[in-house]
Structure 1
Amino acid sequence: MKSFKSLAVNVISSAILLSAVAAPAFAATAAKPAAPTKPATPVVQVQKPQAKGVVITSKVIQQKTAEYEANISLPVISGLTDKAFEAKLNADILKLAQDELKASQIGGKQDAIDAKKYGYPVHPHAIDISYKVQSVGKLVAFSVQTYTYTGGAHGMTDVTFYNIANLDKAKNLQLSDLFQPGYDYRYVLNNLIKQQIQTNPEIKDMYNFETIAENQPFSFENGNLVIHFTQYEIAPYAAGMPSFTIPSRSFVNLLKPDVKALLQ
């Protein structure tokens, strides 16, 4: 059982963060939010995408056959201080794309064989990978979106978010890396997300949210923290990939000093 002191610290810190949110903003793919209020100027001023010694270029792969089609544009990172991390990061991103491409090729060819054998129309498989840069600087932030279609009623989309601390020893930050010890950040963020769901009548009966994970995908956008969910994770396919915006004023003072420095 937690000591009374430990429990008090968590309750107080949670109350501070919860009380800081006057009008949380909500954003969700394919779900129209309630009319938003004009956001306050963010405390954390995230730089617009720009090169601060870091350059992101594209590696393009395009293939098309009767069985499958691939349109791939991958980010290639250069200029990180930690060269070993940079090499592994680029290699990992490329391997994930190659694995998806191989699966599309194999699946498309097999489905074409089956279609010919059983006399039904061929539905070519498809893979589309693209990326978006959120910011480049001390925090190298970008996302890679992968869309795959395997012949069913619809395709599936997945997004991987990268938040790279460009330091002598680089690290891809997880949500659990952001906050100072002693704060029950999951309890706080869970309540903020639940509040946004319950106050939006268009979605509150559609979503089934309980808790975020320690490695829940996130990004920083316009200085605010955005928590992302995958398709089907907390809502039906029609809801797309929901995301919830946490205003900077509600978390900036709880960030670790080194994380806050990355966002200046």
Structure 2
Amino acid sequence: MTYNSMTVQRAGQALLLLFVMVLIVSGCDDSPAGATQEDVAVETTTIAQTDEFLSIDVQIPTFIGFPGADSINQLISTSSDLAVAEIMGAALMMEQNEISNKATLDGSYLCYSFPEDDLYSVWITMANYTGGAHGISWIESYTFSAASGKMFAFSDLFEDAVEGPAYIEEKITEAISASGDFFPGAESELSKYQGDFPFYINGNQIVVYFSVYELAPYAAGITFFAFTDAALADLLRPEIAEAIRGRQPIV
């Protein structure tokens, strides 16, 4: 275990953000080990700080041991840096205006690995409060091959890059139409993705998700649509279908 620190400034005071690295060998969860093509590992980086106007408690992954790891890490780091900068700005505003509240940022991640099939999927859940009636939460996800460093787009999961996403959009549209929990006309929001939906793989499920307020009111939170291996058996690329078949989701 190693420790690093970075000092940042707010209102003339030095704040310490503590980065805690914990090395985890053999992948990013407790999935069965297999014949891996790459020596994949993940480090958990914790960013933490608390004072009168600020509370940060974020864990993000840092991947090592395969081509493309640096690129994925850069995407994750850039995103978390932006989230931290936003919350620091909100804390400064609260301090300057003597608002008796805290700006908060919390984050954690989960990862499902299919090492024998060279498939890895990680999703990071973040939640912040910058003032107002309530905070907001969001997800960022990354699915990749360790051997090639390739990042999977949603269409890459399917044998037919058009037919597969179109089927998913049709099923989500049906679910929205059958429920009273969504905004009127929420189905029209799906077309803007042009089939490139945000997703992660959790066991035998392909999970498509949408941000708070995107399809439904705040109370609905992040909206998830999970599709099992059985439901997509005829649409997934054979290697993807084989990798996820019969796996148990971790959440």
Which runs of 5 or more residues in structure 2 are unaligned? 1-28, 246-251
Alignment of 1:91-170 (within 5 A): 91-113=74-96, 115-116=97-98, 121-137=99-115, 138-167=118-147, 169-170=148-149
The Cα offsets for residues 199-248 of structure 1, whole Å up to 9 and x where unpaired, read as: 45x53677722325233111223313221111111111111111112232
**Which residue does 2:47 correspond to in 1?**
61
Paired with 1:232 and 1:205, the residues of 2 have a C-alpha distance of 9
Paired with 2:121 and 2:56, the residues of 1 have a C-alpha distance of 25
Normalised to the residue count of structure 2, the TM-score between the two structures is 0.72
Alignment of 1:162-241 (within 5 A): 162-167=142-147, 169-181=148-160, 183-200=162-179, 203=181, 208-210=186-188, 211=190, 213=193, 214-241=195-222
The Cα offsets for residues 28-67 of structure 1, whole Å up to 9 and x where unpaired, read as: xxxxxxxxxxxxxxxxxxx953565322221111111222
Aligned pair in 2 of structure 1 residues 263, 245: CA closer, same or farther (>3 Å)? closer
The answer to whether the 8 Å contact 1:54/1:136 transfers is no
Paired with 1:192 and 1:220, the residues of 2 have a C-alpha distance of 18
| Structure with bigger gyration radius | 1
Paired with 2:41 and 2:161, the residues of 1 have a C-alpha distance of 37
Q: Which amino acid aligns with 2:227?
A: I
Paired with 2:234 and 2:61, the residues of 1 have a C-alpha distance of 32
Paired with 2:237 and 2:228, the residues of 1 have a C-alpha distance of 17
Higher helix fraction (1 or 2): 1
Q: Which amino acid aligns with 2:137?
A: T
**2:31 paired with 1:49:** yes
Aligned pair in 2 of structure 1 residues 205, 128: CA closer, same or farther (>3 Å)? closer
Q: Which has the higher contact order (CA 8 A, sep 6+)?
A: 1
Q: Which amino acid aligns with 2:110?
A: K
The answer to whether the 8 Å contact 1:131/1:143 transfers is yes
Q: 1:262, CA displacement in angstroms? A: 5.2
CA RMSD of superposed structures (Å) = 2.6
Paired with 1:136 and 1:67, the residues of 2 have a C-alpha distance of 42
